[in-house]
Structure 1
Amino acid sequence: MNIFAKFKETVSSVLPIMVMVLLLGLTIAPMSFGTMSRFVLGGILVIFGLTIFLLGVDIGILPIGERSGAALTAKRNLPLLLGAAFLIGFIVTVAEPDVQVLADQVRGIAPNVSKWGLIFMIAVGVGFFVALGILRTVLSIPLNILLTISYIFVFVLAFLAPPTFQGVAFDSGGATTGPMTVPFIMALGVGVAAVRAKSDKNGKLKSSSEDSFGLTGIASIGPVLAVIVYGIILSGGNSSSADSVTESSHGLIASGIAVFLKLLPSIFKEVAGALAPLAGMALLFQFLLLKMPPMQVVRMVRGFVMSFIGLILFLTGAQGGFMPAGEELGKVLGAASQTGSLWTLLLVFVGLVFGAIVVCAEPAVWVLTDQVESISGGTIKRKVMLGALSSGVAISIGISMLRVLHGFSLWYILIPGYALALILSFICPKLFTGIAFDSGGVASGPMTSTFILSFTLGASEASDGNPAVDAFGVIALVAMTPLIAIQILGIIFKIKSNRAENSHSELVMESTEAAE
């Protein structure tokens, strides 16, 4: 894909949020001129940064995932495959921009939490469950059985974690499946499924298309479990972070470009530390496993350089402009909601609108709807899919605003939501279940991790709530929506397919009887 197509995708993702914020900031929720100007500049950096980053991932990083998955599976060495799967899951998660943004958000309200300690725990969780997902593919373990057992274990353990870590843990599951992790893990899964084959009764080889989906859904369980364990460990002792709390990007520092320039050195260091292990892994695989020709190696290097530059621009724009504006807008509307029910309704309505805009603007959602329409043979239309996802995500963020204002437990939504999703997994066609759990992170893209979470944090703080408990969880709710929506559509597809088959059978029988 060329850079202009990527640029168009990124603009369509970021621009609707920018327009909405500017309209609110200039009318009913006035924000300071400095915040507004930094938001515009930050939005420009986010657009260009995300464009360059995604293009670099496409040309330099994704091919490594596909080739590695195929090459490792072809070795027929299960311990090697699982070890490499853990390493890949760990390293790409460390490099994931959404995870770094989430870690910054957590550290902003909980200074005792180590940013890199949290990132490494999330990465360990992803690595372990990626390996588990590969093992499921190799052993042909039913996806719904593995998901059900894993989520029951997660929810039981979550009740032992401190309340401040419960929302963060489930948010990490959605944030982890971002623009770096999802494509790489899916590419790895496709590579493994392409090489692995099954023998039918006639001894012929056939591949299982169902095995191509579900790996990302399994991987997203890992960070939830890891952060829960991390929270239990921290609550067990007087742990203090070795990280120094950096000055907030929206604090008392010079306005305008100076804010972004001040952020650059620390972000440069963080991005270098995040991508260096991934580059080292790519070199290791090249020498020991892939042995790509020089032209492909040059292409890989170019992709890494583009990803490095793009990630720096993206994080600088997000931390310097996007996140502060989201937080200030949330504070303005959150404070106003305390003055009357009309403003309360307005805050919820703004959350609903943001939800609808975010999910429709995510490029990955359009890819997903195309995929489902193709698999269903046109039975499930893209417009229906977009409508279901848009409505679900809008409701999720609207509920999050009500949580901020009234402080009711996250479990009231997550437990019935995941229970329904798991029950549907036993009714829905297996292929749609895999796609549904893979797509849980599709809706919770960069805009959710940067702007929506900041907006929720600001609203919670201004309404005298507890941001650590009431605000975190919004990404988890957004990520939960596709699990239900896509499986319901899968059941509809199954019903329509059965009706079509029955009609066809009746026509054949009538034709046979007429011929006789």
Structure 2
Amino acid sequence: MNQLKEFYGILKHAFRNLLPIIAVVAFFQFVVMQEVPEGMMSMVLGLGIVVLGVALFLQGLELGIFPIGKNISNEFAKRGSLPLLMVFGFCLGFAAVIAEPALIAVADQAEVISEGRVNAFTLRLLVAGSVGAVVALGVVRIILGHSLHWYMIIGYIIVVAVTFFSPEEIVGLAYDSGGVTTNIVTVPLIAALGIGLAVSLRGRNALTHGFGLVALAVMVPMITVQLYGIMVYTFGETGDVAANGLQMEAETEGVADPVAGSVLLGMLTDLGLMVRDVLPIIGVILIFQYLVIRKRIAHLHKVVAGFVLVIVGLYAFVVGLKLGLFPIGERMAEQLIALEGFFWLYLFAFTIGFATTMAEPALIAIGDKAEEAAKGKLKGNVIRLLVAAGVAIGITIGVHRIITGDSIHYYIMAGYTLVILLTWLSPKYIVALAFDLGGVTTSEVTVPLVTALGIGLATHIEGRSVIIDGFGLIAFASIFPIITVMLYAIAVERIAKARGVQT
């Protein structure tokens, strides 16, 4: 009975989180376009399914993913075995990314764009290996108690330097590949590993040391993919690539393509594919739990139920998005480009960026965990508002870049130069969380809508290239939340010091 009440509370919370998206869509459809959208009932049904999916997902996190991540961290911390922890971190990071559908889509696009110079499977191995390596490195950082400042400052200096030399065909895709490594399941799991480890070690702080693994998992693939791009564009040759075009396959397909003439069978097949994507993570957990730690999983039925709820909730969430929001979003983007001037397009970019981020399930989960770890210093709702504002600003600037046709190099280098400066000036407690929040924004809601917007603009604006201009909006959606969160922390600290002096 208590669990039902708790779920009902989560359901109401999920509906409130989706209200900004509903408001944005309604405003542009009825006030700007002044027409009733086609498939209105389908959209309403889709939004209802999204609400249910988010609620199931969040319930599953609390039942299964967060407890298992913390328990394994606690066990390894008790054993004091650094090599084991590093191996576990690497395997978890690698398994979480190698089967990621968004990464597979980006890798396939990279192969087409590069005319065969970039090999899709090699790219996936590089990104997954990078994430595994940095999760292992992040575990060492937590154990040694190092501040994340220097890791991020040095890392992003390298990012900016490598970007300067990268071919323009690879820059947008490289940043997008860094963004898609952090999805709706892996972010909470990796965060749970870091927080659990920090809590288990004496002298470590959950907020300062527990966060940061997601940030590293976003940053390093940007470097490795660009280095790979420099190499293949310098020494590689074009190859035979199937002319399948640039399509956001996962986003443009129907809710469920029929299998053997059956829509129900198609839905079950899609659900099976989602289970397949999570299987590498489950495999790593089971191997380390039973063969290395050699202990049964506590409350196994709850953990299993949690993973089932996460998978079902995620599937319902994606189905709801496809059914309710993607079709109308695509039509509105085309209609807005056709309007005279670009004011409404800028406004749409800002508001849809804000609304989708507020509805991001991974951000809701991490915001709650950050509030818990901060012990009064931060509020989950404030974090979400700051991140949503950052994404909105970033996407608007990214849309402006596509409209003007400017090179992405200078925007990215300027953005991360500002991030490096703010990292130097920010209070230490906020740095790891700020960078993690930059990674959380590029998840299941934001990535499809933002990518579709970028490709749509590059396709319909004369003189723009889908290859060079259509990608990279995800990078802007990642950079600016880091900036807004750090600026907020700096401002709060300065105000607090000023009041202290006055009193």
TM-score range, shorter chain: 0.7 to 0.9
Task: Specify the alignment match of 2:283 in structure 1.
Answer: 280
Q: 2-side partners of 1:300 and 1:288: how far apart?
A: 18
Q: 2-side partners of 1:218 and 1:437: how far apart?
A: 8
**2:129 is aligned with 1:130:** no
Contact 1:60–1:304 (8 Å) recurs in 2 = yes
Q: 2-side partners of 1:499 and 1:254: how far apart?
A: 55
Task: Specify the alignment match of 1:71 in structure 2.
Answer: 75
CA shift for structure 1 position 348: 1.0
Deviations 1:316-349 (A, max 9, x none): 4445664444333322322x15xx32xx111112
SS in structure 2 of the partner of residue 457 of structure 1: helix
Give the number of aligned pairs: 492
Contact 1:177–1:216 (8 Å) recurs in 2 = yes
What's the RMSD between the two structures over aligned residues? 4.0
Q: 2-side partners of 1:21 and 1:164: how far apart?
A: 33
Tell me which of 349, 354, 357 is aligned to 2:355: 357
SS in structure 2 of the partner of residue 446 of structure 1: coil
Q: 2-side partners of 1:357 and 1:144: how far apart?
A: 30
Task: Specify the alignment match of 1:55 in structure 2.
Answer: 59
Q: 1:212 to 1:34 in 2, by over 3 A?
A: same
CA shift for structure 1 position 50: 3.7
CA shift for structure 1 position 131: 1.2
Task: Specify the alignment match of 1:508 in structure 2.
Answer: none
Q: 1-side partners of 2:39 and 2:17: how far apart?
A: 21
Task: Specify the alignment match of 1:11 in structure 2.
Answer: 15
Q: 2-side partners of 1:16 and 1:29: how far apart?
A: 18
Q: 2-side partners of 1:305 and 1:188: how far apart?
A: 20
Question: Identity across aligned pairs (percent)?
Answer: 29
Q: Tell me the amino acid that sits aligned with residue 468 of structure 2.
A: V
Task: Specify the alignment match of 1:187 in structure 2.
Answer: 192
TM-score (norm. length: structure 1)? 0.80
Q: 1:108 to 1:447 in 2, by over 3 A?
A: farther
Deviations 1:461-491 (A, max 9, x none): 1113223322322222122122222222222
Q: 2-side partners of 1:232 and 1:260: how far apart?
A: 44
Q: 2-side partners of 1:352 and 1:93: how far apart?
A: 29
Q: Tell me the amino acid that sits aligned with residue 151 of structure 1.
A: Y
Q: Tell me the amino acid that sits aligned with residue 474 of structure 1.
A: L
**2:238 is aligned with 1:238:** yes
Task: Specify the alignment match of 2:493 in structure 1.
Answer: 494
Q: 2-side partners of 1:224 and 1:33: how far apart?
A: 39
Q: 1-side partners of 2:196 and 2:189: how far apart?
A: 10
**Matches of residues 156-305 of structure 1 in structure 2 within 5 Å?**
156-198=161-203, 210-232=208-230, 235=233, 236-239=236-239, 264=267, 267-290=270-293, 296-305=299-308
Q: 1:491 to 1:162 in 2, by over 3 A?
A: same
TM-score (norm. length: structure 2)? 0.82
Q: 1-side partners of 2:290 and 2:379: how far apart?
A: 45
Q: 1-side partners of 2:501 and 2:111: how far apart?
A: 58
SS in structure 1 of the partner of residue 21 of structure 2: helix
Contact 1:31–1:329 (8 Å) recurs in 2 = no
SS in structure 2 of the partner of residue 185 of structure 1: helix
**Matches of residues 400-411 of structure 1 in structure 2 within 5 Å?**
400-411=398-409
Task: Specify the alignment match of 1:454 in structure 2.
Answer: 452
CA shift for structure 1 position 85: 0.5
Q: 1:417 to 1:255 in 2, by over 3 A?
A: closer
CA shift for structure 1 position 86: 0.8
Task: Specify the alignment match of 2:478 in structure 1.
Answer: 479
Q: Tell me the amino acid that sits aligned with residue 308 of structure 2.
A: V
Contact 1:88–1:127 (8 Å) recurs in 2 = yes
Contact 1:71–1:289 (8 Å) recurs in 2 = no
Q: 1:108 to 1:311 in 2, by over 3 A?
A: farther
Q: Tell me the amino acid that sits aligned with residue 238 of structure 2.
A: N
Q: 1-side partners of 2:385 and 2:325: how far apart?
A: 27
Q: 2-side partners of 1:252 and 1:360: how far apart?
A: 25
Tell me which of 427, 430, 436 is aligned to 2:434: 436
Q: 2-side partners of 1:211 and 1:499: how far apart?
A: 28
CA shift for structure 1 position 429: 1.4
Task: Specify the alignment match of 1:202 in structure 2.
Answer: none
Q: Larger radius of gyration, structure 1 or 2?
A: 1
Q: 1:490 to 1:234 in 2, by over 3 A?
A: same
Q: 1-side partners of 2:107 and 2:14: how far apart?
A: 23
